[in-house]
Amino acid sequence: MLGFRESAGRAVLELSEKAVTYPNGDAWSEAVRQARSAVYEQGSIARRYVEDDQEMLKALDKINLLFSLHISQIEDVRQGALASIQELNRLSKIHPQLLTYNRRTLIEQVEKDGFVGLGPELDFTLVKLSNLERIRDSIGVEKKDELLRLVIERAREYISESVMLFSLSPVELMFVATSTPKNRENLSRSIQSFKVPMRSGGLMASLTYSASTLTAKNFHPMPFSSLYNSLASRLGEPQGMIESIHVTETPKDSKWNSAMKALNKKVASGELEPRLEMAVEMHKMELKQVELKTPLRELSRLNSEDKTPIDPILSSGLFLKIENHELKHARALSERLKVEVAVNVAPVSIVDKDLLERKIQNLQGSELSARLVLEISERYLMNFEPQELQSAVRRLKRHGVRVGLDEVGRGFSSFQLLHEVEFSHMKISPELYRDELGLNRGGGLVKHIVSMANSLGIVLSATGISSQEECLALLDMGVALQQGSYVSKLLFGTDKVKLSELPVLFKDGFTDYLNL
């Protein structure tokens, strides 16, 4: 067991280091595909051997998430690989059984490459604040001054007029703009820690983004200019730490923005009609819930040129528009069906107090609030404080709206979330139960989740059911409430149920649920 854990960890590291060598260019997309596939595969294999070790599972998930985020959202194989190496190095201290790694290698990597993204080939100096914090943590306090000196010296080689530019990645920018005060405070502290003598006496924060993965106007409801003005004040403008903020945009970004505008029009016009997934109690064949799903895959199709997948949470301005679009349909649906209606939401849309209040006001006076379940994917919650989430859940609960945890098994810290946040519903991710079926383990993990949900009074269901085998296996494990293509085909003969087709589909088999 120990040998396998070490070998799995080493394999992930080797793949990450190999990805560093890929040049940006024609080989990029293939490098991304290979690297992501290999890292995910190693993580999945390792999970099967450490299912009884929650700390190990969290470590593996975090490695995979970091690697995926950096490669998918920042579009830089080298940067994503380095981030993965850094995280593996940090975890080697906490979980030596996962990986034995020489800390000196990290310092050598920094000395060789200057820093993640730092080099003469760039138009400006890129100092990654969050990565710096990770490296400083991983090498120990005694190396902090050495590393800081090294980064500043290398940065000055490419800085004109001794003005240091700090560039925040899309992910970090999202943290500052939409996440918790703690994240903003940490980022501000990181910036202010770089009080170094400069001839011009200035320190500039350059908030850059790649619009092909994230545009500010699409990920936050605030107007583009006011977003950056608010960031200026949040990052310490009163202390004179920031002289100006600007945005860099490439021709590729402009093309992407045009595509995003086209998608916005589709959402506004109602062209993106939500499809429906029915959650059915399979023993009684009783419809319990209808979930609305807008085809977010449109985002990927719009960016088919470079195959960059778009994560809804990182385009949450558009995601918020889609939420509102779905909630309008949900209101109409709840007036016709006497069952729960589920809508998937971005965490920021309920954690942000203004957005939460707006949502509550829109729901007041309608029948929807009594039947509505707002679902949040587990993997999107790693950067939100459970206390803030719990406060929002309670506020919604007072208005009759319940909140569910979706895709359980794809993120981490599930037990902590369930301990601190009063979720009413929980949906098991297909990845989790398919691993159980593939390994012939008798569904022990799923049975444990069933038992836990029963004891906490949480409504449990499984999503993504695609075959009779999965349906029957989950019934044996104690999961009777199921949704997915197999369930839809069983009921309606099609797995693509659209809202406009409901009257026809329900006419013959589910008239009891219609409120006509």
pLDDT tens, residue by residue, 358-368:
888 888 777 78
Encode pLDDT of 449-495 as tens digits.
898 899 889 999 999 999 888 998 899 889 999 999 888 887 777 77
Report pLDDT for 481. 94
User: Could you give the CA distance from residue 247 to residue 395 in angstroms, rounded to a whole number?
Assistant: 37
Q: Where are the alpha helices (DSSP H) in 75-196?
A: 77-94, 103-113, 129-139, 144-156, 170-178, 181-192
- Answer whether 99's CB lies under 8 Å from 92's CB: yes
Higher per-residue confidence, 282 vs 236: 282
What's the rounded mean pLDDT across residues 13-29? Answer: 48
Percentage of residues of the chain with pLDDT beyond 90: 7
Q: Is the model's pLDDT at 94 over the cut of 60?
A: no
d(CA 125, CA 204): 11
Determine phi and psi for 513, rounding to 5 degrees: -95, -5
Backbone angles phi, psi at 377, to 5 degrees: -70, 135
Instruction: For residue 379, give the DSSP letter.
Output: G
- Residue 213, pLDDT > 50, answer no
Highest mean pLDDT among 47-61, 110-124, 369-383: 369-383
Query: Which segment of 29-33, 384-388, 485-489 scores lowest on mean pLDDT?
Result: 29-33
pLDDT of residue 274: 78
| pLDDT above 70 for 273 | yes
Length of the chain: 516
pLDDT above 80 (res 373): yes
Lowest mean pLDDT among 18-22, 60-64, 242-246: 242-246
- Are 220 and 234 contacting, i.e. CB atoms less than 8 angstroms apart? no
Above 90 in pLDDT, residue 410? no
What DSSP character marks residue 289?
Answer: E
Helix axes 129-139, 103-113, angle to 10 degrees: 140
CA angle at residue 427 from 344 to 439, to 5 degrees?
135
Question: CA–CA separation, 69 vs 378, rounded Å?
Answer: 15
Compare 167 and 498 and report the one with higher pLDDT.
498
- In the structure, what pLDDT confidence band is assigned to residue 143 with cuts at 50, 70 and 90? very low
Residue with tokens 């975090």: 62
pLDDT value at position 345? 84
Share of the chain residues as helix, strand and coil, in percent rounded to the nearest 5 = 60, 10, 30
Average of per-residue pLDDT values in the chain: 59
274-505 in CATH: which number? 3.20.20.450
Q: Tell me the average pLDDT across 302-309.
A: 45
**Structure tokens given for 474:** 């989950």
Please say if the pLDDT value at position 389 is more than 70. Answer: yes
Can you give the pLDDT at residue 457? Answer: 92
Say how many C-beta atoms besides its own lie within 10 A of residue 300's C-beta: 12
Strand, coil or helix: what is 146? helix
Per-residue pLDDT, averaged over 398-420, amounts to 80
CA gyration radius, the chain: 24
- In the chain, the percentage of residues whose pLDDT exceeds 70 is 37
Predicted confidence band at 263 (pLDDT cuts at 50, 70, 90)?
Answer: low
- In whole angstroms, what is the distance from residue 58 CA to residue 414 CA? 10
Which residues does residue 514 pair with via DSSP β-bridges, in sequence order?
337
| Rounded Cα–Cα distance for residues 132 and 137 (Å) | 8
Rounded CA separation 338/288 (Å): 9
